Amino acid sequence: MDLLLKGGILHDPVNGWEGPAEILVKGNRIEAVSISLGPVEAPALELKGKIILPGLVDAHVHLREPGGESKETIASGCAAAVAGGFTAVACMPNTDPPVDSREIVSYIKEKARHAGLARVYPLGALTRGQKGEEIAPLWELAEEGVRGFSDDGRPVMNSALMLRAMQFALVLGLPVISHCENLALSGGGVVHAGAAGYRLGLPGMPGVAEAVMVAREILLQQQVGGKLHLAHISAKESVDLLRWAKEKGVNLTSEVTPHHLLLTEEAVEGFNTNAKVNPPLRAAADREALLEALQEGLIEIIATDHAPHNPREKEADFLNAPFGVIGLETAFPLLWTKIVEQGILSLAELIKCLSIAPANLLGVPGGNLAPGMPADLVVIDPQKEGLVQPDKFYSRGRNTPFEGWRLKGFPVLTMVDGDIKMCDGKVKGFSRDFPAALENLLNNAKD
């Protein structure tokens, strides 16, 4: 359907737009953008006081399907995505079975199509079965449409194998996404090797366990070229290496998560398993280094590493509880309240991190609301305040360390491919209140 969005403030940095705009959506595309479009034959949505952004793109989520449906399904993960303003997500291949064959890629795409909410870009395994022993069928996976390769969660320890895999990814023009962790150095750790974890008697993972692998990837990338992306950077030592790599002109990108930007190791106090994550929440100095790196542009992407678990699994003891926190439904309000409103990044810079750069990394449309582009956008209400309430999440996971935080800037409308998927917090096909919310919106629009 056609729709006119008027009265809102558009932030579209790629096209240099930052101000009031009327946007005409025709079918699944942006038809026109102007300060005033004049008379238009389409229902008009009044968005006074709201902010319109290109749809958010998350380069790093775990949708768990196939094999982990008690933690999340592609449908529930996509519902969480559009609820949080994400119009596209790249899902990691550590499913069961892992994404190392055409059939699994096709299965995920089919499930995502059926869910009909966010765009889902599968990532393929870098090695067969993510076992780190032989290179996965990268060409086959690329043919089926994966947008990158990763053994996320199971770092490739064999440096020669990593080099070869990067070489083939180069030929295919797709990024390699590395989870940087030296398993011998992190061996058995469940928290940052720092004061908070040590006080609790929990085995620690030092920052250097990440940094030595960051160093390896940088050096391999110098040899190979192509696209390299470093997932969830968490340690100050890694930031130093990124700075060196940029000075040397090494072609790579990296990401940081909202939880590493906003929390420290103290969050594990009281053996809080909802703060158990890999890489671990680190010391205050690490967090400061990450914030600086983000401001300097050393780290280009913010990704959630949305890692849902069945709530029962997180009720286990800290040592045995699984790693991971969810992020799709909290990322934007967290970053708006704690990063933009605090003056750490401008909104335009945040859009680069959350939309433009991840779309570039994946080589997909997004981060751009110029006429002719797919109508993937999100409307934010900067005044809408609320508490983080895990029992209200669309995700099957409840494992957030941000429970009870009071935040602003919640998304109020998410449009994917010209279709409204979320309206006033209600997700299409998931909330029985969605049809009423949409009707209400459109009725007002006809007035």
User: Given the rule CB under 8 A, which residues bind another protein?
Assistant: 193-195, 198-204, 270-271, 283, 315-320
Q: What one-character DSSP code corresponds to residue 17?
A: E
Q: In whole angstroms, how close is the CB of 289 to another protein at the nearest point?
A: 16
Residue with Cβ nearer another protein (316 or 387): 316
- Give the C-alpha separation, 259 to 263, whole Å: 6
Identify which of residues 183 and 200 has a Cβ nearer to another protein in the complex.
200
Nearest approach, Cβ of residue 260 and another protein (Å): 18
| 3-state SS, one letter per residue, for 48-83 | CCCEEEECEEEEEECCCCCCCCCCCCHHHHHHHHHH
Of 188, 227, 177, 232, nearest to 210 by C-alpha is 232
Cα-based angle 164, 168, 173 (whole degrees, multiple of 5): 140
For the bound state, the minimum distance from the C-beta of residue 350 to another protein, rounded and expressed in Å, comes to 32
- The nearer residue to another protein, 137 or 322, going by C-beta atoms, is 322
Residue 58 annotated in active site = no
- DSSP structural state of residue 250: -
Residue type at 166 in one-letter notation: M
CA distance 136 to 51: 43
CA-closest candidate to residue 290, choices 218, 339, 217, 226: 339
Q: Which is nearer to another protein, 196 or 357 (CB)?
A: 196
Q: Of the listed 100, 305, 376, 424, which one is catalytic?
A: 305
Q: Report the Cα–Cα distance between both ends of the chain, in Å, rounded.
A: 17
Q: How far is the CB of 201 from another protein (least distance, A)?
A: 3
Q: What secondary structure does DSSP assign to 159-207, as a single string?
A: HHHHHHHHHHHHHHT--EEE----HHHHTT--EESSHHHHHTT--EE-H
**CA-CA distances (angstroms) from residue 188 to 204, 214, 413, 418?**
8, 20, 43, 47
To another protein, the closest distance from the beta carbon of 169 in angstroms equals 34
Furthest-apart CA pair in the chain: how many Å? 68
Strand partners, 111: none
Q: Which is nearer to another protein, 201 or 343 (CB)?
A: 201
Closest CB to another protein among residues 230, 268: 268
Strand partners, 405: none
What are residue 427's DSSP bridge partners? 422
Our CB check for another protein shows the closer of 148 and 207 to be: 207
Please answer whether residues 423 and 435 qualify as being in contact, where contact means their C-beta atoms are separated by less than 8 angstroms. no
Phi-psi region of 148 (alpha: psi -120 to 50; beta: other; left: phi over 0): left
What is the smallest separation between the CB atom of 261 and another protein, expressed in angstroms?
Answer: 21
Minimum CB distance to another protein, residue 205 (Å): 12
Write out the catalytic residue numbers: 305
